[in-house]
Structure 1
Amino acid sequence: MKIVDMHCDTISELFQRMKDKRADTLAKNELHIDIEKMKKGDYLLQNFAMFVDLNEREDALFYCLELIDLYYRQMELNQEVIAPVFCYEDIERNKKDGKMSALLTIEEGGVTRGSLAHLRNFYRLGVRMLTLTWNHENGIGYPNVTIKDGRPDWHTPNTADGLTDFGLEFIQEMENIGMIIDVSHLSDAGFYQVLAHTTKPFVASHSNARSICPHVRNLTDDMIYKLSGRGGVMGMNFYPAFLGEDADAGTIKAIVKNILHIRNVGGYECIGLGSDFDGIPGHDELKDSSCMPLLAEALEKAGLSNHEIEAVFYKNVLRVYKELL
């Protein structure tokens, strides 16, 4: 079963490990994702997010450019087995050549520093998807997590603060240049503004169902329904804290539970994968990218048809990429 995963933080982790003089590379490492594990998992395409925490980086733009440089250096070192893609035809070409594909994304729109020119330049560098916010307010808009009594409140969604005036310009320019809008982390208010001020499909690259797990990082049933109606896709996040609140949260069973619920709300056509590998502590059963066939087996046992499993694992996301890239 081929796999398309819309979100991982592997490049950011590799950057830190290389800075610490460790021998890890994309070819082989101790992280959730490397070339060797992806081959075992039968990967077709992996989105590689350039994750930037605005509170930890004095110059977020400079740091993001360093991550992009590392991404391309790793692509060059492994060019026999994986290649970056800039349009849908590149995915088809890589598949024909027996190579996996890599899609460059950014997780934190604040790296653009309030500049549409920076956004366009990131597109020229190969960025094809951008997460509007992480967990901090930026010039584009507000995240869904709020601070209460000095601590993050992960259960009360932000329904008041959405996109800024610049944020509205930003998403329209993203649509104009062909960069996919990612609403994971964005406030509830921001989600509905994206819906109201865009016309093309957009994604929630690594978010689950809030009805199953009441965490602000997840989507409500209404959001799922409307995302599906727009032709968008949401990627299942494997972080136990986003999957449930019971003892099964770290199991494949919890992922299946979220998928079955979302299928009932928005149809199987709006479901994809967004593991968040190397951005989360781990998953009890899907320990790394080589274990993905276990999820396919569990979905089959849960009653999904082979057609539906293929759609969730890669075809739904490819449909969006074919339309937007």
Structure 2
Amino acid sequence: MKLPVIDFHCDVLSKMREDGGISFQNDPKLDVTYDRLIQGGVSMQCFAIYLSEKWGIPKYEYILDQIDAFKNRVMKTGGGVRWLRWKEDADELAHTIQHPAAAKGGQGPVPWGLLSVEGADGFEGSLFYVRMCYEMGVRFLGITWNYANWAADGVLEKRNGGFTEKGRKLIDLSNDIGLLLDVSHLSQAGFWELTERTNRPFIASHSNAKAVCPHPRNLTDEQVRAIVAMDGRIGMTFVPWFVRAGGEGPVRPQELLPHIEHFCELGAEKHLMVGSDFDGIDTWIEGLEHPGLYPAFAELLCKHYSEDLVRNWLSGNALSYLGTHLPSKGSGAAH
């Protein structure tokens, strides 16, 4: 069963920065490829710009390298990947999802790509660099990776600090220009400080339910309720150790069902989406190793839930958020 999918997190771009020979078309070094997006019915893929610790001191040029890889290697692959930056783009995507036969060329909808930055480290403490990345087309910012940076503490930072003074200015700037924020790696203290300071609902792009699997990167019930209350979004993720604790034997797709059930019990039925973390992992859920397998996952979900619910989790909830909170083309940002 092929249903439209919007996936809010993958790490293709950091792999492409490390290996200039990788082809986005169908390279076996990648989980997410153009061919697999088409195979799996992925209408939009969010590409995270991640700066690996093994690259040394984070630099702004590493962010620019990955924007360049997206523009010149991802977007020019196959039938083309379209860049989703504006509310109007989200509206067009919604139309193509609802009327797939109207897609140009009769080959089915061309996938869209969205850019996020995972961890503010590479901005080198410069709010000007943040603004420039927004004007270059980045639309989401995960404030930290797992540890502390100049803006805030990550979820694995033992002191569990919140935002620095410059980090608070980052929140204000993001609210002002329309850069949307992602808390998946943020510390508990930072999460609650952000709920008080932001005036735009944020997302957790790739996190599961801590009550089901007690990993530090998963969300507590209180965090889930807070995201629901602000009409944010939660991307269930396919990282095996965020799905089931212990590591005995392979994790299977049906083990995501308790997470979905728990999110729904907390009122997140209209706030749940997908954030696979493909290409950010080297161990996979068995039977959900790449986006070409989304149809089988959709079929599994439809055995337990209505097709309308499943459609919303796979794309509808993410799409309504994008259509509401992305900036319009006439909002004053550079085109």
Relative to structure 1, the CA distance from residue 182 to residue 285 in structure 2 (aligned partners, 3 Å threshold; closer, same or farther) is same
1:83 aligns with 2:82: yes
SS in 2 for 1:102: strand
Report how far residue 84 of structure 1 moved: 0.8
Q: Tell me if the contact between 1:53 and 1:134 (Cα under 8 Å) persists in the aligned partners.
A: no
1:25 aligns with 2:23: yes
2-side partners of 1:76 and 1:311: how far apart? 26
Query: Which residue matches 1:66?
Result: 65
Query: Which residue matches 1:11?
Result: 13
Gaps of 5+ in 2: 97-102, 327-335
Relative to structure 1, the CA distance from residue 174 to residue 54 in structure 2 (aligned partners, 3 Å threshold; closer, same or farther) is farther
Report how far residue 249 of structure 1 moved: 6.4
Query: C-alpha deviations, 1:241-300, integer Å up to 9, x for none?
Result: 111115476210121221111111133111100000000112222011100112212212
Relative to structure 1, the CA distance from residue 271 to residue 260 in structure 2 (aligned partners, 3 Å threshold; closer, same or farther) is same
Report how far residue 199 of structure 1 moved: 2.1
Gaps of 5+ in 1: 148-157
Query: Which residue matches 1:104?
Result: 115
Report how far residue 183 of structure 1 moved: 0.3
Query: Which residue matches 1:275?
Result: 276
Amino acid at match of 1:210: K
Q: Tell me if the contact between 2:90 and 2:322 (Cα under 8 Å) persists in the aligned partners.
A: no
SS in 2 for 1:268: coil
1-side partners of 2:288 and 2:189: how far apart? 33
RMSD: 1.7
Query: Which residue matches 2:231?
Result: 231
> How high is the TM-score relative to the length of structure 1?
0.90
Report how far residue 54 of structure 1 moved: 4.8
Report how far residue 145 of structure 1 moved: 0.6
Q: Percent identity?
A: 29
Amino acid at match of 1:69: D
Aligned residues: 309
Deviates more, 1:53-62 or 1:29-38: 53-62
1:287 aligns with 2:281: no
SS in 2 for 1:196: helix
1-side partners of 2:141 and 2:75: how far apart? 23
SS in 1 for 2:9: coil
1:324 aligns with 2:325: yes
> How high is the TM-score relative to the length of structure 2?
0.88
Matches within 5 A, 1:135-146: 135-146=146-157
Query: Which residue matches 1:260?
Result: 261
2-side partners of 1:199 and 1:222: how far apart? 19
Query: Which residue matches 1:40?
Result: 39
Matches within 5 A, 1:141-156: 141-146=152-157
2-side partners of 1:99 and 1:175: how far apart? 31
Query: C-alpha deviations, 1:112-132, integer Å up to 9, x for none?
Result: 122211110000111000100
Q: Tell me if the contact between 1:75 and 1:84 (Cα under 8 Å) persists in the aligned partners.
A: no
